């Protein structure tokens, strides 16, 4: 049998896994969700869930992947026949996410090209509104973005994903710092810093606020760490036994968090300084940063590099989603890599084109006050991923057994496994219980 491809080094894996984790979730979504959920208080809840829910599930997924060396569905099936559905949820989730993710990826491309051809954007808020509501342009950019990602995955793992992530991730961190340093010197910026660094408990005045805060934070943890949907099972399946999974499960969330907080530092103070609305929603990044770029020296060039880096961040995440789908069709259905990329690609490009119209022509199509785009995000972050995470915990904690997980974490005795008891508690009791409680209470 053909030997399974492997990451060329643990650093390569780490960068690819961080590349999957760090993406639009950190740069585009995190700041606007923080803005809509009361600032600092959201960050505290997010941090708690990241440590006690995110990191253990990350370990479980990577262990299952490396142990079985299979795609998400077959990996779960191998651990326990009949459990393939747990990984199957991931393939479904990846489809759903790709439909809207590549719409935002398209927005990023549009802004990149806008800054390449012109020196600034006049009236950023109106500009964003007109663009996002227009019927054709966002679809074209979405299709270009999707086609680029599909092309990269067609080339295979280490050739495509690893190389890109190694270079751009450190650069991305550097550039957001450059922007953030400029932003915090703007007048009134300090109120933006206070908004997300100092929790304001008065923002919570009913139990339903608490529940919705928890649900939003949990959704964001899953989304941002690429959890509950087989990405890390798939990536772990290419990981060598010399890698220390437990360490990776600390590095990845830490790096992911740093980038998310930096994104907040670059965006939220600017929102306050230019008297915009922190609750603006999905357009926050696009309608805020152009103000900043018009106010700082070399703004145009910084904007071009910034959007280029955001584009890379989005690409490395999107390709990890396509990889989840493709590796299933390649391993399980024996499709060629090309077919396994192109056919699902055509489907998510089509649904994405419809989602892209949610802000304009199709904005009247609503369910419970959510447009198509919002519904796709709710379906993935708040339903499919947490349910996937729940089953991963049950599979690892009770069926495979945490002991077998420790065996994999230690790489057959090479590495010491830390916090065994706590981990066992988190995976067997805390995480599944939290997911169920948050899930049920969200209906009230």
Residues that bind ligand PHE (CB under 6 A): 20-21, 23-26, 97, 223-224, 226, 229, 231, 317, 320-321
Tell me 27's DSSP state. I
Nearer to ligand PHE by Cβ, of 104 and 154: the residue is 104
- For the bound state, the minimum distance from the C-beta of residue 201 to ligand PHE, rounded and expressed in Å, comes to 28
Q: Could you give the CA distance from residue 85 to residue 91 in angstroms, rounded to a whole number?
A: 10
Nearer to ligand PHE by Cβ, of 320 and 402: the residue is 320
Burial of residue 24 (CB within 10 Å: 0-12, 13-18, 19+) is buried
| Nearest to 395, CA basis, from 66, 78, 53, 21 | 78
- Residue 365: count other Cβ atoms within 10 Å of its Cβ: 13
Give the residue at shortest CB distance from ligand PHE.
25
Radius of gyration of the chain (CA): 21
- For the bound state, the minimum distance from the C-beta of residue 290 to ligand PHE, rounded and expressed in Å, comes to 21
Nearer to ligand PHE by Cβ, of 91 and 303: the residue is 91
Nearer to ligand PHE by Cβ, of 229 and 302: the residue is 229
- For the bound state, the minimum distance from the C-beta of residue 321 to ligand PHE, rounded and expressed in Å, comes to 5
- For the bound state, the minimum distance from the C-beta of residue 81 to ligand PHE, rounded and expressed in Å, comes to 26
Nearer to ligand PHE by Cβ, of 25 and 40: the residue is 25
- For the bound state, the minimum distance from the C-beta of residue 32 to ligand PHE, rounded and expressed in Å, comes to 13
Give the list of residues 6+ apart from residue 72 with CB closer than 8 angstroms, or none. Answer: 65, 87, 88, 90, 91, 229, 230, 231, 233, 234, 324, 327, 328
**The token pair that represents 18 in the structure block:** 């961080």
- For the bound state, the minimum distance from the C-beta of residue 356 to ligand PHE, rounded and expressed in Å, comes to 18
Q: Could you give the CA distance from residue 237 to residue 70 in angstroms, rounded to a whole number?
A: 6
Burial of residue 380 (CB within 10 Å: 0-12, 13-18, 19+) is buried
Alpha carbon distances (Å) from 90 to 125, 230, 384: 36, 5, 8
Q: Could you give the CA distance from residue 434 to residue 430 in angstroms, rounded to a whole number?
A: 6
Nearer to ligand PHE by Cβ, of 26 and 246: the residue is 26
Nearer to ligand PHE by Cβ, of 299 and 386: the residue is 386
| Nearest to 328, CA basis, from 45, 73, 152 | 73
- For the bound state, the minimum distance from the C-beta of residue 424 to ligand PHE, rounded and expressed in Å, comes to 26
């Amino acid at each position: 049998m053909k030997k399974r491809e492997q990451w060329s080094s643990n650093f390569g894996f780490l960068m690819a896994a961080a590349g999957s984790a760090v993406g639009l979730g950190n740069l585009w979504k995190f700041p606007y969700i923080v803005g809509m959920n009361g600032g600092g208080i959201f960050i505290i809840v997010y941090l708690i869930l990241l440590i006690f829910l995110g990191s253990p599930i990350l370990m479980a997924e990577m262990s299952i992947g490396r142990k079985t060396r299979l795609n998400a569905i077959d990996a779960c099936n191998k651990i326990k026949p009949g459990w393939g559905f747990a990984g199957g949820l991931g393939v479904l989730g990846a489809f759903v996410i790709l439909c809207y993710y590549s719409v935002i990826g398209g927005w990023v491309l549009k802004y990149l090209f806008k800054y390449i051809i012109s020196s600034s954007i006049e009236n950023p808020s109106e500009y964003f509104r007109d663009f996002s509501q227009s019927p054709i342009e966002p679809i074209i950019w979405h299709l270009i973005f999707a086609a680029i990602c599909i092309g990269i995955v067609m080339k295979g793992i280490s050739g495509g994903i690893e190389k890109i992530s190694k270079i751009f991730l450190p650069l991305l961190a550097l550039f957001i710092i450059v922007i953030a340093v400029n932003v915090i010197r703007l007048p009134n910026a300090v109120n933006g810093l206070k908004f997300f660094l100092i929790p304001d408990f008065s923002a919570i005045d009913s139990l339903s606020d608490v529940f919705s805060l928890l649900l939003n934070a949990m959704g964001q943890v899953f989304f941002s760490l690429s959890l509950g949907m087989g990405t890390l099972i798939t990536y772990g399946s290419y990981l060598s036994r010399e890698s220390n999974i437990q360490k990776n499960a600390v590095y990845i969330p830490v790096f992911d968090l740093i980038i998310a907080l930096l994104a907040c530092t670059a965006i939220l103070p600017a929102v306050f300084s230019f008297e915009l609305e922190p609750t603006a929603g999905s357009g926050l990044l696009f309608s805020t940063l152009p103000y900043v770029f018009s106010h700082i020296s070399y703004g145009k060039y910084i904007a071009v590099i910034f959007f280029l880096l955001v584009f890379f961040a989005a690409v490395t995440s999107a390709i990890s989603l396509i990889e989840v789908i493709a590796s299933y069709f390649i391993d399980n259905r024996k499709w060629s890599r090309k077919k396994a990329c192109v056919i699902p690609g055509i489907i998510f490009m089509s649904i994405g084109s419809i989602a892209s119209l949610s802000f304009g022509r199709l904005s009247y199509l609503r369910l419970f006050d959510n447009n198509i785009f919002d519904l796709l995000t709710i379906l993935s972050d708040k339903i499919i991923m947490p349910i996937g995470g729940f089953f991963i915990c049950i599979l690892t904690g009770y069926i495979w057994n945490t002991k077998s997980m420790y065996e994999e974490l230690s790489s057959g005795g090479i590495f010491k496994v830390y916090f065994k008891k706590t981990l066992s508690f988190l995976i067997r009791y805390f995480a599944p219980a939290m997911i169920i409680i948050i899930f049920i209470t969200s209906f009230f």
